[in-house]
Amino acid sequence: MTTTVSAYAADSATSPLKKTTIERRDVGPHDVAFDIKFAGICHSDIHTVKGEWGEPNYPVVVGHEIAGIVTEIGSEVTKYKVGDHVGVGCFVDSCRECDSCKEGLEQYCTGPGGMIGTYNATGKDGTPTYGGYSTAIVVDENYVLRIPDSIPLDKAAPLLCAGITLYSPLRHWDAGPGKEVAVIGLGGLGHMGVKIAHAMGAHVTVLSQSLKKMEDGLRLGADEYYATSDPDTFTKLAGKFDLILNTVSANLDMGAYLGLLGRDGTLVELGAPEQPLSVPFFPLGGLRRSLAGSMIGGIAETQEMLDFCAEHDVTPEIEVIEASYVNEAYERVLASDVRYRFVIDTSTL
């Protein structure tokens, strides 16, 4: 048995998303079913729909920033009850047996096939996974997150990708009082980096192409704001930072940005550039600097992030839209015309 739900799907890389229906599995003993109330729009959704990361399995229903309310639980579920506010992020299962899974780092699952993505993947039952641009979903309780009551569901949704994508490296590289942290780009990811790093007590600098979002950046928690289009910026800030988080997917001049790190500083790549990175040795090796990558977070860390955001009143800046506006929203994301995350009100499906 399955349940039919409404969704927005893409049939090809060039066709607009349109309304359709998809099947959700029946609730198994360990499953949680919930009505999706809000789904954030992540740039990854657009890359996937447009086939920029390889050909997806069309029709594809994207969305991995999902918030809603539990409607049914399986007979053996212990973590949730009907009525709970819950969410799902970028994955809905993993092998559960590899070292990463056992250590709560399911995002780095090394088992067969790795983690199972919330969309454009194949579940353990052999059926395709469909994401959050839909009205309901069924997920194993171990991959569901509890959304604290103080975080509205519309603002909770982007935390499940954008929030954890920034929280995880900030936590891993010990951002906090006395640390100099720079965030490259003030978009959907970057603005969350500024808010979270500020809440952790770090000294936060935004590095943006221009100063047009400077007022926003300072309001969101940045201590300083510089334009990377000004060559003086790289002279003035040379050797300043302990940690730099790159949230843009463009190919940057890695030598110039590595030069902004102090000794033993780390530049973490979070955006996914289309071309391989070109990294000169001397800016990297000269001061024992590190170039690293990071992807989302495990279930335990994502829950920790949600609780941290509730405690420190950290939520994304959002623009709530109707489902019928999703294609226009994609165009605006590509034009950097959103401050700072679109969230679909799935009741409009």
User: Can you give the residue ranges of every domain in the chain?
Assistant: 3-152+316-348, 162-293
Total-model pTM: 0.96
**Orientation angle between helical segments 299-312 and 190-200, nearest 10 degrees:** 70
From first to last of the 349 residues of the chain, give the pLDDT tens digit. Answer: 689 999 999 999 999 999 999 999 999 999 999 999 999 999 999 999 999 888 999 999 999 999 999 999 999 999 999 999 999 999 999 999 999 999 999 999 999 989 999 999 999 999 999 999 999 999 999 999 999 999 999 999 999 999 999 999 999 999 999 999 999 999 999 999 999 999 999 999 999 999 999 999 999 999 999 999 999 999 999 999 999 999 998 889 999 999 999 999 999 999 888 789 999 999 999 999 999 999 999 999 999 999 999 999 999 999 999 999 999 999 999 998 999 999 999 999 9
As a whole number of angstroms, the distance between CA 66 and CA 267 comes to 29
Burial class (CB in 10 A: 0-12, 13-18, 19+), 130: buried
As a whole number of angstroms, the distance between CA 221 and CA 224 comes to 9
As a whole number of angstroms, the distance between CA 130 and CA 267 comes to 33
Other beta carbons within 10 angstroms of residue 290's beta carbon come to 14
Burial class (CB in 10 A: 0-12, 13-18, 19+), 295: middle
Same fold for the domain at 3-152+316-348 and the one at 162-293? no
As a whole number of angstroms, the distance between CA 113 and CA 101 comes to 13
As a whole number of angstroms, the distance between CA 232 and CA 223 comes to 18
In a 13 Å sphere around the CA of 293, the CA atoms on its Cβ side amount to: 8
- For 179, residues 6+ apart whose C-beta sits below 8 A from its C-beta are 202, 203, 242, 243
As a whole number of angstroms, the distance between CA 322 and CA 341 comes to 14
Q: Which CATH number fits domain 3-152+316-348: 3.90.180.10, 3.30.365.10, 3.40.50.2300, 3.30.930.10?
A: 3.90.180.10
Query: What pLDDT is stored for residue 271 in this prediction?
Result: 87
Bond before 58 cis per omega within 30 degrees:
no
Q: Does domain 162-293 have CATH number 3.10.129.10?
A: no
Distances from the Cα of 169 to the Cα of 15, 159, 186, 242, 244, angstroms: 36, 14, 17, 12, 10
pLDDT more than 90, % of the chain: 95
Residue pair 107/91 in contact by the 8 Å Cβ criterion: yes
Helix, strand, coil distribution of the chain in percent, nearest 5: 30, 30, 45
In DSSP notation, 4-50 reads: EEEEEEBSSSSSPPEEEEEEEEPP-TTEEEEEEEEEE--HHHHHHHT
In the chain, which residue ranges form alpha helices assigned H by DSSP? 43-49, 99-102, 153-156, 162-172, 190-200, 214-220, 231-236, 254-258, 281-285, 299-312, 326-334
